[in-house]
Structure 1
């Protein structure tokens, strides 16, 4: 039996955000160098006050007033201590008999604060040297110092696991970063440019990084160019990943321990809590990437570019694999759910305790196509501009340290990275824009390709979700492709006035069923417009 606690009232959040940014800079030219330097400070502070969440200790004591439940609530809940002895929570049709003091004990206001700060000082300079066959040699150098800090305080009561439906999430960390870099642009001969760059970073929490980059561009004709780049990359762990604290979420997972004991219900994925803890021993992520592409301008107002790329990351920072954490015993269980007659049944998993780890590597390979064409309209009716962007993923292969590999391209998997948004292997955006003087109207077509509802390619477990009768969910275990159309306009009737608006999801398309998605809301976050429906916005802006 489930009781929705409607008498407590809706869950409400009052969020107040304050963003501060200050920047001062100086620039000049001396001995052939153009230079500038700046000092930046920015901070973001967010406070979140919430209502409508139930306190576990008061709920248990008011619904089931055993001596243990009462003692726990008296020790931890001031609102409960203020209630008369023998008070209970009346639910359903008798809820009107509850006093305001009962609800004050059940659902007091809870809150948390978050803040991030960045202070940065940088200096950069550029100049040209001599002259090569294709033109002068360009040089750029720079240096910077940056202090970063981030803190998320836990929501009131979650540090004791006392808020029903809301897990513990908090982190705290700070560091200093020093960096120096240089770049050279060499037009070695007409139509050929070679670039090279090197950057050094020092992080006080994870050490040094050297990241080079080289590139070449060949333009044999004005309408055609070939380009290629190769680079190394570096990403230091964030405070949420190597600081202190932990993040709460939900995930879908089966229970191999109970399944092996013969508990059939444990063999199917279920929605359980997930607590991910920072890992101070994390190494930075390092990557190698390359890109090969062409640029073709077949007509004066037409441009097409096609790029084939690959990114290979080592020591990728990911959430620990959920099955690995379960098999290692890092779980919390409810022993009261153990099935009678099955010896050794430990009860259902209520939460998985995982940490951030360095996975062996991830290799992502894809193809990007960009096209643009503009055409003037007769009699001064402005211009039509057409844009197209398409991305295809060939591979999203993650290999763990034990040598096991999973390819997520085109599947719903990789939930610990995408929050179960999935990894569609085809996505496209088409846009047609009419521009005339002070008016612009655009029609945008957004396309998401189909997604196999499996955790990874060729998953031996088959479909990740099932209907009550056991059939694959959705039908054929495939999340259908989804396309929406938006209209956006902007009009400036006067220099200082601007009127703007949009119609999102013009044809009111409904998002396809997605039972695996984060939070079990039955639609994919990529298809948000199809869950909201047709949406109108209208606004105006005046500049003083």
Structure 2
């Protein structure tokens, strides 16, 4: 009893601190109950286990001032960048948010709700299937338990980098309403509103039942860059002309306008009549920043209903229903047309062949063209529909019973869960619609490159005029995807004591799980037909059934040494049963000091988009054809030399130079269709991981822990790039690389092929499948320190958590070895830390939280030469600009409970209004026009929350 009382004292401190590292209950009375902690199926009295678990309690989440589960998980030091609905409009899974731990990706972190899986988002992000965090209600959460190493031995596939178990409230009685409003002080356009109501009735002790219902509504407003671009870091304006001081004076201070405008420009002639804004050169300009979106509009409704009933005799029935509806509405930039734009390259999924959209000059026959010759035309389709809406419905319904039999507790449940997502967008050009409403861009004179259609841009669509909805819908049709996932499951488990070692109980857990899933992703017909210019497509239609059995035993070898062994066997169709073992031990050397460690193996089974019926059609641009590019460059050099020798008055000079560019572009910067299909022969990704560390309590109410972790993942599922395939073309299976017949060569004549030694036809496509091609290894240290003591004015809690990344390396198949250590490189800070101080004084609670990230270089792995020191110098960036400086942010939260049943809180994020550090790479890689970091213009923000409990 003394040991248990001591551990309760240790963990009572930690549980009250934001993001604290905890493994026990908050008071000594509750610590006497057996509980199950994430990472084990065995109930324990002493919950200080060998496996490091981090817990965010309800009061911690309040102090964090977050509006969603996604924001809460981003505060973890082990959390690394993952998909967000805010910046995900260009992903295959727009409208969703995910989490990643240990830099291992969003589908290597398993998310649970009340210790059971939730349905994945119904659109895969290319091949990644993940849980949409936006579908989970934050106000219904009691706590979040984070297992910071793998959990495949307990939970099966996907639990590679860690497990996040979201536990909802239980035994709640009464009605509680909550509302919050979050707004930037710097730019009021950034605002979020959230409201919820929670109701519970039935006293579990007296009434033998309890029912809980929660409904949560979330709304976020849209923010466009035009409204906030003037407040971006001035450092960007020093390097990028689009946001240089005074660049947007016609529409603001920053944000240069574009000559791709409405109603457009004829270069050499001037603005098209009807232009509202003309620059000093007489060209029509358009405020493109008015359509660049910083934050999309979002609307969400989440609902949770749970109930439990005492059936007598120690048996309990329980049920749960979860439903969410989310909609993210993206504003898209209007499509542009420019005669000198590079050709748009894409392909036809039906044939696997490539397609090319050629931007043409406005012909001399067009009524707007008064020059008497073809003229360069710049235009923006500002009358087109241009948007993307992602709407998703997700649900989970389950029911079960649990009870006890002799010395065992048992539990069984069955349920169904699913997700339906509808993604629709408009604004991209239809190939067939353009030919109908504008003209056939492929019908041109090969010698002069002049379009042959005299009515080009003078058909159904009229430049700068009012066009009918029928014309616009034909030219810019709606396209998108419909995704649907359905999963059914049955599970059962048994836990209890099977014997003793001396007077110490040996506990076991065993169980089984059956699961069936169906996954379908279907593009609209125009995507399937390759009719949307520049767009690929992805399809999936598959199902499978899986089975699993698991067992776990806890052996109290001595009074101070506890060893736990666990294993789980998962059987997926198409490959042998996979066993995931785990061994963990904790040695409590003294009442104040414990050593702990784990060794385990994990795995991720190929998902249905990787192993079952699916296909993805995309396009690789800028491809260098190793068999034709050297010859093309030699021919281009010869053509240029011949042209340079001609007088400027000779029309063949311009034609020769133009052909030289075309020859080189065709073979040294080619656009090649890429078809990737599922692979039924994939192996699971496997992981070996281990942890070792200690926990110490030098004095009462003060503790410190340190854990070293290491993870190595093999057989990672991915694809070989086009460059990799071409580098080893002779080794590829027939049909992997498609080439045209030499007789159909459009680059070289027969004589030129003879002269330059061209023996291979032009690239037409690459065909591949998902493969086990990669490996990753990573290691680091997690540190946690907590203390609590009374001051003269109240109780003060201090806590600190930090993750130090020692190593992160990706295997290079071309080098046949691991690449550089990415710790401290772009995107991978070595140190991430949080420090919290909370003071309780009467009816007031105040807390301060410091968030810290260490500096990083701008370059990535060994092949990333653009942003090395030499690369930055070539770009004109200083050594100081060629890195991301360390950053710290200070937040403050205050709560007041002086009015009965009412809690009012104010959270101030970034109280010092400090900018995030300059990130020139982020801006540059996005094109050097659109800012990427909304935190830069959000600055300080305030969140007010009121919570009232009705009695």
Q: Which aligned pairs between 1:182-201 and structure 2 lie closer than 5 A?
A: 182-201=551-570
Q: Secondary structure at the match of 1:315?
A: strand
Instruction: Give 2:708's aligned residue.
Output: 308
Conserved? CA contact 2:439–2:459, under 8 Å = no
Instruction: Give 1:39's aligned residue.
Output: 414
Q: Which aligned pairs between 1:168-247 and structure 2 lie closer than 5 A?
A: 168-247=537-616
The change in CA–CA distance for 1:366 and 1:67 in structure 2 (over 3 A counts) is closer
Tell me whether 1:131 sits opposite 2:500 in the alignment: yes
Equivalents in 1 of 2:939, 2:788: separation in Å? 31
Instruction: Give 2:891's aligned residue.
Output: 487
Q: 1:234-266: CA deviations, max 9, x gaps?
A: 210011222233457898977363765548998
The change in CA–CA distance for 1:106 and 1:445 in structure 2 (over 3 A counts) is farther
**In the alignment, which of 461, 474, 484 is matched to residue 89 of structure 1?**
461
Tell me whether 1:148 sits opposite 2:523 in the alignment: no
Q: How many angstroms does 1:310 deviate by? A: 1.7
Instruction: Give 2:36's aligned residue.
Output: none
The change in CA–CA distance for 1:16 and 1:175 in structure 2 (over 3 A counts) is same
Conserved? CA contact 1:12–1:52, under 8 Å = yes
Could you tell which deviates more after superposition, 251-260 or 345-354? 345-354
Q: Secondary structure at the match of 2:557?
A: strand
Q: Which aligned pairs between 1:265-344 and structure 2 lie closer than 5 A?
A: 276-327=676-727
Task: Give the gaps of 5 or more residues in structure 1.
Answer: 70-84, 413-420
Equivalents in 2 of 1:398, 1:405: separation in Å? 4
The change in CA–CA distance for 1:155 and 1:517 in structure 2 (over 3 A counts) is farther
Could you tell which deviates more after superposition, 520-529 or 181-190? 520-529
Equivalents in 2 of 1:438, 1:372: separation in Å? 23
Equivalents in 1 of 2:712, 2:571: separation in Å? 22
Q: Secondary structure at the match of 1:172?
A: strand
Instruction: Give 2:426's aligned residue.
Output: 51
Conserved? CA contact 2:521–2:540, under 8 Å = yes
Equivalents in 1 of 2:684, 2:602: separation in Å? 10
**In the alignment, which of 820, 828, 831 is matched to residue 407 of structure 1?**
820
Q: How many angstroms does 1:453 deviate by? A: 3.6
Instruction: Give 2:935's aligned residue.
Output: 529
Instruction: Give 1:365's aligned residue.
Output: 779
Equivalents in 2 of 1:423, 1:272: separation in Å? 32
Q: How many angstroms does 1:363 deviate by? A: 2.3
Tell me whether 1:112 sits opposite 2:512 in the alignment: no
Conserved? CA contact 2:717–2:774, under 8 Å = no
Conserved? CA contact 1:326–1:352, under 8 Å = no
Tell me whether 1:27 sits opposite 2:399 in the alignment: no
Q: 1:298-356: CA deviations, max 9, x gaps?
A: 33233222222222222121332453135467789999997999966999999976642
Scaled by the length of structure 1, the TM-score of the pair is 0.78
**In the alignment, which of 802, 807, 810 is matched to residue 389 of structure 1?**
802
Q: Secondary structure at the match of 1:369?
A: strand
Q: How many angstroms does 1:179 deviate by? A: 0.9
Q: Which aligned pairs between 1:368-447 and structure 2 lie closer than 5 A?
A: 368-379=782-793, 381-400=794-813, 403-410=816-823, 422-435=827-840, 441-447=846-852
Conserved? CA contact 2:797–2:839, under 8 Å = yes
Query: More strand per residue: 1 or 2?
Result: 1
The change in CA–CA distance for 1:66 and 1:120 in structure 2 (over 3 A counts) is closer
Equivalents in 2 of 1:199, 1:378: separation in Å? 53
Q: How many angstroms does 1:105 deviate by? A: 1.1
Q: How many angstroms does 1:24 deviate by? A: 0.9
Q: How many angstroms does 1:128 deviate by? A: 1.4
Equivalents in 2 of 1:516, 1:401: separation in Å? 27
Equivalents in 2 of 1:208, 1:173: separation in Å? 20
Q: How many angstroms does 1:141 deviate by? A: 0.9
Task: Give the gaps of 5 or more residues in structure 2.
Answer: 1-337, 342-377, 445-456, 637-660, 730-735
Conserved? CA contact 2:822–2:860, under 8 Å = no
Q: How many angstroms does 1:288 deviate by? A: 1.6
The change in CA–CA distance for 1:174 and 1:479 in structure 2 (over 3 A counts) is farther
The change in CA–CA distance for 1:168 and 1:191 in structure 2 (over 3 A counts) is same
**In the alignment, which of 500, 512, 522 is matched to residue 918 of structure 2?**
512
Scaled by the length of structure 2, the TM-score of the pair is 0.47
Could you tell which deviates more after superposition, 299-308 or 36-45? 299-308
Equivalents in 2 of 1:484, 1:136: separation in Å? 48
Instruction: Give 2:117's aligned residue.
Output: none
Conserved? CA contact 1:251–1:518, under 8 Å = no
Q: 1:427-465: CA deviations, max 9, x gaps?
A: 3333344456776554444444444443414x4856479
Higher relative contact order (CA 8 A, sep 6+): 2
Conserved? CA contact 1:339–1:347, under 8 Å = no
Report the aligned-residue RMSD: 4.6
Conserved? CA contact 2:690–2:711, under 8 Å = yes
Equivalents in 2 of 1:531, 1:63: separation in Å? 41
Q: Secondary structure at the match of 1:157?
A: helix
Q: 1:17-36: CA deviations, max 9, x gaps?
A: 22221121111111221111
Total equivalences in the alignment:
517
The change in CA–CA distance for 1:403 and 1:467 in structure 2 (over 3 A counts) is closer
Q: Secondary structure at the match of 2:915?
A: coil
